[in-house]
Amino acid sequence: GQNIDQPTEMTATEGAIVQINCTYQTSGFNGLFWYQQHAGEAPTFLSYNVLDGLEEKGRFSSFLSRSKGYSYLLLKELQMKDSASYLCAVRDADYKLSFGAGTTVTVRA
């Protein structure tokens, strides 16, 4: 099974940088995903890491260390629209996703 931990809440100021950490313990690892979910909406795909290192996509970057069971999502130049929950999900050996409980990010003006 999977055990995925991420902080419950984070608050940051518009224009700032926020880093959301995710640690996991897994019986089989086949990639890590980050999703964004605005209140009352569906999760939307942000990023995917399967190899160690940093993946950058505009203002969002995601990092993975498989040996440490650790990932982070970095949000730069925060905007008010970035206020949402961010879900860390680990794909296991059977290609099924297990999700963390999510981190609610609040961006303040």
Partner 1 sequence: IAGITQAPTSQILAAGRRMTLRCTQDMRHNAMYWYRQDLGLGLRLIHYSNTAGTTGKGEVPDGYSVSRANTDDFPLTLASAVPSQTSVYFCASSGTAGTGTDTQYFGPGTRLTVL
Interaction site with partner 1 (CB under 8 A) = 4, 31, 33, 41-45, 48, 50, 87, 89, 95-102
Closer residue to partner 1 (CB): 42 or 109: 42
Q: How far is the CB of 97 from partner 1 (least distance, A)?
A: 6
Q: How far is the CB of 16 from partner 1 (least distance, A)?
A: 26
Which residues, including other chains, have CB under 8 Å from residue 38's CB and lie 6 or more apart?
83, 84, 85
Q: How far is the CB of 42 from partner 1 (least distance, A)?
A: 4
